[in-house]
Amino acid sequence: MAYKPASMGRRRKYNTPEEAHAAHLEQKRQYYSRNKKAEQRKSRKRYEHMIAEGRPKLRRPPPPKAVSLKPVQEVPTELSIIVTAPASFKPRLRVAPNTKMDILIAALWKRLMGTTPPRFLLHAQKSRYEAIMNMFETLSHETAMSRLLQMTAEGKVLVDTAWKAMKEAIRRDPSQRSPEVPMVVCAHREIEQIQGLTEECKSYLKMGISSLEEAHRKKWLCWQ
């Protein structure tokens, strides 16, 4: 009787749905980086098609009123916070040679999402998208867009702070063997992705909330 090898199932490539989704997002980012110009042309064609269908093009809301600047002053805290932004903004987090990176990262996420660092990036992305949608459903378009512009501006500051923290962590440990370096690198990448989601939502919301809803339904958004 001929020998038949025992059948074995195919090994699972990913252990959890979150890992599979993270790998899918990474593939999409790599594809987009290779085909950036082609994807931009496609996005432009979709936009022109939406306008050709007769959808109203919303006017850009007026810029927020100018606010007076507070004088720069030192605030003696563990994170070395300094006030360098307008009154409507929160104090900037400053990276210093003695900054404790785990405390700084926790403060960045608290400032960005109002929570502790998320276990899975996908949960934070869904939370940010739902918060933006809820803001535009409950407030007037002008008020919601003004708040979204402020969120975008503050997000850029947080991304810049996370980037400086990453540089400082690598300066402290050029060999990058300590757990501090990958922690800060991962935090910078994830905060940058949340900021990219916010920018992407803003571009669709300029055409109306229905445009963002349609893009989400058809999975056109980069984070999906």
The tens digit of pLDDT for each residue in 3-16 reads 455 555 667 777 77
pTM score of the predicted model? 0.58
Lowest mean pLDDT among 65-79, 82-96, 146-160: 65-79
Query: Which residue in 131, 190, 185 sits closest to 163, CA to CA?
Result: 185
Mean pLDDT of 165-179: 90
Q: Is the pLDDT of residue 25 over 50?
A: yes
DSSP string, 121-160: HHHHHHHHHHHHHHHHHHS-HHHHHHHHHHHHHHHHHHHH
Contact 149, 64 (CB under 8 A): yes
- How many other CB atoms are there within 10 angstroms of residue 60's CB atom? 8
Q: What is the pLDDT of residue 59?
A: 54
95 or 83, higher pLDDT: 95
Q: Report the C-alpha gap between 112 and 159 in whole angstroms.
A: 10
Among 4-13, 50-59, 165-174, name the most confident range.
165-174
Q: Cα-flanking dihedrals φ and ψ of residue 206, to 5°? A: -65, -25
- pLDDT at 223 (0 to 100): 84
Mean pLDDT of 57-72: 53
The pLDDT of residue 8 is 56
